[in-house]
Amino acid sequence: MKRKGCFKKIAAALCATGILVCTPVTANAAEEEDVLGAWYGPFPYNPVIFYEDGTAQDYFNTRSYTMESGSLAITYDKSGGTGETVTVDYDLWRGEKIEDVSVDEYADAVIYKIIEPGKMQIWNVSKQKGSDHWSSYPPATIIKDQSSVPEEDKPEAWEPSTPDELKRYAAYSNEKVDFTTDAKNSYPVSIYNAVQGPLCFDSFEAVLGNYVIGRTYNILPSDQIIYQMDSKARITLNIPTALQKDNRDFRMISVTENGRPIVLKDLDSDQNTITFETDTYYAFALIYKDNK
């Protein structure tokens, strides 16, 4: 595996926040040929495909990747609230932004560390608006070609284990998401099954009342990570079969960029669908309660 050196100085503005390592570092960045192709691991990284056009695709989306190495301090507050902070070295990253992120910005990315030829460790990281640190799910391992890897050496699929993880993953499903949008909407909308982090769950639960969280989604306008649009879109979501029940009332919760929850009532009378209008996006929860 060929590697090349690069000199990288971490922005002084971020040093004050403690987000990143605060010294200049000399690091190695992987060559593009080291990462092109399909990599396999636990969901949703099965596969991750790196293309020659500079984009990489996983289950949720296709985003650009950057062949640049560095170090990032990560707090594992998405894996049960332990508060442990570790510094992670990475060889490349995928997402919109990872450097020079101010406290007033939201950012998310996936960072990759090549631990040996054909094997990478991977962290899904995010920084909330108003926060001064990055958080992450537990790291996963992905392998470029599993056909020649002995069964005992293949990465094990990560399973939720803490009460927090079990609660959040219980609202996730890989069933097909069936929905329609109003022809009068001024932009398209995409809906994906998604595991939401503890901060979003705190926002959901703040307005949950006697409802139950049934599913969590990412809903995006124009298939981009945008949190506020100038106009509302009308969406009709088919209720997953496992949640359908007579006399069951459904609502949707949207969480704004600054973490404020908005409850969206069902605008139709069909028990097997929920229709709602929204101009705020990204993290959503489908909630329900049974009426007597």
Q: Which pLDDT score is estimated for 231?
A: 96
Do the bridges between strand 37-39 and strand 48-50 make them parallel or antiparallel, or are there none, so unpaired? antiparallel
Q: Which pLDDT score is estimated for 259?
A: 86
Among candidate residues 113, 129, 153, the one where a domain is terminated: 153
Q: Which pLDDT score is estimated for 106?
A: 80
Q: Please indicate, yes or no, if residue 158 is contained in any of the structural domains.
A: no
Among candidate residues 153, 178, 197, the one where a domain is terminated: 153
Instruction: Specify which residues 221 forms β-bridges with.
Output: 189
Task: State the total domains in the chain.
Answer: 2
Before 47, cis peptide (omega within 30)?
Answer: yes
Before 44, cis peptide (omega within 30)?
Answer: yes
> Which residues of the chain are under the pLDDT cut of 70?
1-29, 43, 60, 77-83, 146, 148-149, 153-159, 223
Q: Which domain range does residue 142 map to?
A: 3-153
Q: Which pLDDT score is estimated for 83?
A: 65
Do the bridges between strand 282-290 and strand 248-255 make them parallel or antiparallel, or are there none, so unpaired? antiparallel
Residues 105 and 124 both lie in one domain:
yes
Residues 206 and 275 both lie in one domain:
yes
Interval 42-53: pLDDT, tens: 767 778 889 888
Residues 19 and 72 both lie in one domain:
yes
Question: How far apart are the C-alpha atoms of 105 and 131, rounded to whole Å?
Answer: 9
Residues 248 and 266 both lie in one domain:
yes
Q: Please indicate, yes or no, if residue 266 is contained in any of the structural domains.
A: yes
Q: Please indicate, yes or no, if residue 105 is contained in any of the structural domains.
A: yes
Residues 236 and 96 both lie in one domain:
no
pTM of the model: 0.59
CA distances from 34 to 29, 91, 119, 280 (A): 10, 11, 10, 39
Q: Which pLDDT score is estimated for 131?
A: 79
Q: Which pLDDT score is estimated for 290?
A: 95
Alpha helices in 1-99 (DSSP H): 12-15, 32-35
Question: How far apart are the C-alpha atoms of 168 and 172, rounded to whole Å?
Answer: 7
Residues 13 and 132 both lie in one domain:
yes
